[in-house]
Amino acid sequence: MPHASALMTVMINAARKAARGLSRDFGELENLQTSKKGAADFVSAADLRAEQIIFEELSKGRPKYGFVMEERGEIEGADNSNRWIVDPLDGTTNFLHGLGQFAVSICLERDRQPYAGVIYNPAANELFWAEKGEGAWLNDKRMRVSARRSLEECLFATGLPFKGMPGRERSLKEADRILSETAGVRRFGSAALDLAFVAAGRFDAYWERGLNAWDVGAGVVLVREAGGIVTEIEGGAGPLHAGSILAANADIYAAAQKILAGVK
C-alpha cells in the first residue's frame, strides 16, 4: 500500500475496525426472521455499534476534533477547524437485504471543506481513500476518473427517492433525460460507493438530491483527488452541505450539468 499519513492511518483503522463488526452482522442476516421489526432493529443495532467503534477510534486518534454523525448528530470539539463526518453504514437497505453494496464512510472536514476521506466496502474488501493533495487510492492502486468524452458512451449513477421521501417526480424526470443521452443509469443504493466508483472510473458521473453531509463527504474528496469535478447540481461550490451533488470527469461535467439544469 502507498504510504498513508498518520491522519489517513487513523481513519483507515477506524473504518476497518467498524467494518469487522458489520461483516459479522451481515453474515447473520440470513438467520433473521422476516418480520419488519426484527430486521429493522437488527440493522439499527449494527449501525449503532459501528458508529460507536468509529467514535472511539477517531476520538483516541484525534481527541480535539468534533463530529457530525448520522445517528449521534453534531458533537463539538475543542478544535474548531477540524471535525469528522461519519456514516457508519451507508447502504442500509442493501445491507438489510443481503446485498453487498454498503460501506463505512469517514470524512475529515477542515475549515468547512472536505479534506480527507475513507470509504470501505467490507463485502468486496475495497478500501477507497484520499487526502487533499495526495491523490486517490483503491487499496494500493492509484485511482483516476474515467476519460470518456462522449455522453452516449457514459454510464451515470443516481439515487431515487423511496416511499415517503420528496422529490421523486423530479428525480425520475432527470433520470429520463440522462437516459436519453447516455449509455445508461445505475441505482446501486449507496451514495458513498457511487462517488467512490466515479473516482475509480467505473461510473462516469453521479448526481443526486436530498443528501446529507455524511452521505457524500468522503466521496467528494475521492473524486476531486482522482481528477474529477464535484459541485452542487446547479454549479454551487458547496455540495457537502447543499443537499445536491454532481460528480463527473472534467470532459463531460458541463454537458451533464446542462442536461440536469433543464429539468424542473
Q: How confident is the model at residue 7 (pLDDT cuts 50, 70, 90)?
A: very high
Together in a domain, 207 and 234: yes
pLDDT computed for residue 69 by the predictor = 93
pLDDT computed for residue 40 by the predictor = 55
> 86 in a domain, yes or no?
yes
Q: What is the pLDDT of residues 232-245, one digit of tens each?
A: 999 998 899 888 99
Together in a domain, 123 and 156: no
Together in a domain, 197 and 120: no
Cell of 36: 419488519
Give the least confident one: 3-7, 53-57, 85-89, 251-255.
Answer: 3-7
127, 111 contact by CB (below 8 A)? no
Together in a domain, 23 and 98: yes
Q: Under the phi-then-psi rule, with left for phi > 0, alpha for psi from -120 to 50, and beta for the rest, what region is 181?
A: alpha
pLDDT computed for residue 71 by the predictor = 80
> How many domains does one find in the chain?
2
> 197 in a domain, yes or no?
yes
pLDDT computed for residue 188 by the predictor = 96
Q: What is the pLDDT of residues 188-198, one digit of tens each?
A: 999 999 999 99
Together in a domain, 42 and 84: yes
